[in-house]
């Protein structure tokens, strides 16, 4: 049985964020070249955990025609939740004024200014030097639930981060 390795060299998960939300501007799955330049995208690394939620709703009802419950699906409420170790540039932006792209804004700025972002979550590799066989999710969404926290026994600041997906996910693998 094959596993998606995430704790070996070159297989760490990445979340890439871009303010370029036009269709097709994210990684196309070909594996050739690079995704977007580091001037255009924010690579959120140092992730502590990731949860991909594809939560299809179910509507249930009963009527006098049967003795059992009837069910039908409703639209899914998709999201990606993670906890990140805060680094100054990735969280607060690179200091460019006025900010024009995701790297300029940082995670905190994208969330607080309610920017629609295009994201790619690479489960086992990266897109800057594409990892053949890596799996990814991509879509559009808003960053929410940003909440930096620290405690006396923690040496670094961490923050929750959720991508509230608008629409559906696209799922794929890097083929070559």
Contact yes or no for 59/70 (Cβ under 8 A):
no
Average pLDDT over residues 82-108: 94
Contact yes or no for 157/150 (Cβ under 8 A):
yes
CATH of the domain at 126: 2.40.30
Q: Is residue 91 included in any domain, yes or no? A: yes
Q: Is residue 119 included in any domain, yes or no? A: yes
**HEC string of 36-72?**
CCCCCEEEECCEEEEEEEEEEEEEEECCCCCCCCEEE
Among 68-82, 120-134, 159-173, whose mean pLDDT is lowest? 120-134
Average pLDDT over residues 116-132: 83
Phi, psi (deg, nearest 5) at residue 54: -115, 90
Q: Is residue 43 included in any domain, yes or no? A: yes
Q: Which helix (H) or strand (E) holds 74?
A: strand 70-85
Give the count of domains, the chain.
Answer: 1
For the whole model, what pTM was predicted? Answer: 0.85
Quote the Cα angle for 15-175-162, to 5°.
15
Average pLDDT over residues 156-160: 96
Q: What is the pLDDT of residue 138?
A: 87
Range of the domain at 20: 14-173
């Amino acid at each position: 049985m094959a596993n998606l390795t995430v704790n070996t060299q070159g297989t760490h998960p990445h979340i890439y964020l871009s303010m370029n939300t036009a269709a097709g501007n994210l990684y196309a799955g070909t594996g050739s070249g690079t995704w977007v330049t580091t001037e255009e995208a924010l690579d959120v690394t140092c992730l502590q955990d990731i949860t991909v939620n594809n939560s299809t709703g179910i509507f249930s009802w009963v009527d006098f025609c049967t003795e059992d419950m009837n069910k039908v699906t409703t639209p899914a409420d998709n999201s990606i939740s993670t906890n990140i170790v805060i680094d100054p540039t990735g969280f607060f932006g690179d200091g460019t004024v006025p900010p024009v792209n995701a790297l300029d804004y940082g995670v905190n700025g994208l969330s607080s200014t309610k920017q629609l972002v295009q994201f790619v979550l690479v489960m086992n590799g990266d897109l800057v030097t594409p990892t053949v066989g890596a799996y990814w999710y991509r879509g559009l969404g808003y960053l929410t639930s940003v909440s930096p926290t620290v405690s006396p026994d923690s040496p670094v600041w961490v923050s929750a981060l959720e991508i509230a997906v608008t629409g559906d996910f696209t799922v794929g693998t890097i083929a070559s």
